[in-house]
Structure 1
Amino acid sequence: MAQSIRIRAMLASVLAGTAVAAGIGAAGYQSMAPTGQWYGRTFTSVSGSSKQIALTYDDGPNDPHTLRLLEVLAKHEVRATFFLIGRYVQQRPDIGREVIRSGHVVGNHTFTHPLLIFKSDAEIREELQQCRRSLLDAVGAHSSLFRPPFGGRRPGTLRIARELGCPASRPDRAQNLKPGAWRGCDSPARWGAQADGG
């Protein structure tokens, strides 16, 4: 009888531990999943049967890569959204201004590019506000667009972004492309076809 009680108690402990581990794993996955919505609405695509794609670039402005990319986009009359890191904008405000002058949109990608799931609410707020100030100083406007570095977010991240008027955005299909998949694509149209699996 005592052994039966111990076995049931051990089984209950194992099942409870497994449930907790599964919950933690699912929560961790949702914080980094490209289309995860557990922690709040994150924009990943437009609804409907739109034949458009959104080109987005993170982590700039970088010299010379951002300027070269602007040339390619201009050659093909394509517009994109650049999610910029505030400290890089401070280092190269001229490139930030060129992105705007070329007709593109800029977004907030934080000031130092940290993984926000490990930051306090105060640190997240400061990252977003510092990047916003950098964009305002460099290009004369701030952006209401925000993309979390590495895609990582948690409820506090999205709440703070909303409070600051910056809904979160995540890449969608781009998450399924392999690094270097762009090689050999000499035009945005060909790159778009490759992104669609063609």
Structure 2
Amino acid sequence: MTKDQLLTRLSSKAAVLTRRRALLAGATAVAAAGTAGALAALTGEEPVRPALPAAGPPAHLAAKPSAYRLQPLTGYGPPRTAPRKTLVRHEPLLKVSGRGRTMVLTFDDGPDPRYTPHILDTLAEYDVRAMFFVCGEMAVDNQDLLARMSDEGHVVGNHTWSHPLLTRLSRSRIRTEMEGTSDVIEDAYGERPQWFRAPYGAWNRAAFQLGAELGMEPIAWTVDTLDWTTPGTRRIVGAVENGAAPGVVVLSHDAGGDRSQSVRALRDYLPHLLDSGYHITVPLRRYA
């Protein structure tokens, strides 16, 4: 055997050994994961597990390209908090209870760095709290805004990852949309969301059941400003002021398009509501 032939054979054996070591390492990791699961079953403790990638649901699960489509992040977050299960409802909450003239303002589809900060500025100016139902694919690249919402006392709810029509999705896909968004919210806001709103207001049995399993109450709205149609600032203001009543939940948007009208409308109707004696607040968590 020549020197070159000997070197070739040694190189080939080294490559095989490297592959075997890689396979052995993978098998060891799988076995360790199985052992952790077994220990959890015996001790009742939840094993530390890798979180969902910050980018949320795998790309192959997407029903269609989203309007937002932000660049995904990579890596793993801390262990997740186990959600507290709630009562399975058959319809979403439409109004909130409270003393006197209580109203709730809600904003969907964000956070969007172009509009959400202006809405937060206005709410802070009048010392008012609101609810923000965020989409995971928007939240993942704007976690600083979720942190600000937490610092300023606002409530952040789950509005799925990519804003799909839930009635056209499988149960497993709905769970993936919900869980991925809850994980991002927990990372940035500091706790898992306690409220859920179905995109387009399209609810089904799976959405109610899965939301309850993930510790979230379903909530819709009483007054729709239709601001997503960009009807003009005055029309948005009129919708809110004409629909104002005790317990009302107002739907607006801070993302998903040009929301400059929504920003201007809030600056107009919020002081008028307060001057009229309305208490703008967020609902307390209601457990079963």
Global fold match (TM > 0.5): yes
Aligned to 2:96: 46
User: Which structure has the higher relative contact order (CA within 8 Å, separation 6+)?
Assistant: 2
Aligned to 1:28: none
Q: Name stretches of at least 5 consecutive residues in structure 2 with no aligned partner.
A: 1-88, 238-260, 279-288
Contact (CA 8 Å) 2:149, 2:189: kept in 1 or not? no
SS state of the match for residue 107, structure 1? strand
Contact (CA 8 Å) 1:111, 1:131: kept in 2 or not? yes
Give aligned-pair identity as a percent. Answer: 31
Contact (CA 8 Å) 1:76, 1:187: kept in 2 or not? no
Q: Give the alignment of 1:86-97 within 5 angstroms.
A: 86-97=136-147
2:168 is equivalent to residue 118 of structure 1: yes
- Please give the alpha-carbon distance, in whole angstroms, between the structure 1 residues aligned to 2:141 and 2:269: 30
2:220 is equivalent to residue 170 of structure 1: yes
SS state of the match for residue 158, structure 1? helix
- Please give the alpha-carbon distance, in whole angstroms, between the structure 2 residues aligned to 1:157 and 1:106: 18
SS state of the match for residue 54, structure 1? strand
Q: Give the alignment of 1:78-157 within 5 angstroms.
A: 78-157=128-207
The amino acid of 2:136's aligned partner reads G
Contact (CA 8 Å) 1:53, 1:192: kept in 2 or not? no
Question: Against the structure 1 CA distance between its residues 104 and 48, is the aligned structure 2 distance closer, same or farther, given a 3 Å change threshold?
Answer: closer
2:190 is equivalent to residue 190 of structure 1: no
Shift, 1:112, TM fit: 1.1
Shift, 1:174, TM fit: 2.5
Q: Give the alignment of 1:19-98 within 5 angstroms.
A: 40-47=90-97, 50-98=100-148
The amino acid of 2:270's aligned partner reads P
Contact (CA 8 Å) 1:86, 1:130: kept in 2 or not? yes
SS state of the match for residue 60, structure 1? coil
Size of the aligned set, in residue pairs, is 157
Q: Name stretches of at least 5 consecutive residues in structure 1 with no aligned partner.
A: 1-38
Aligned to 2:75: none
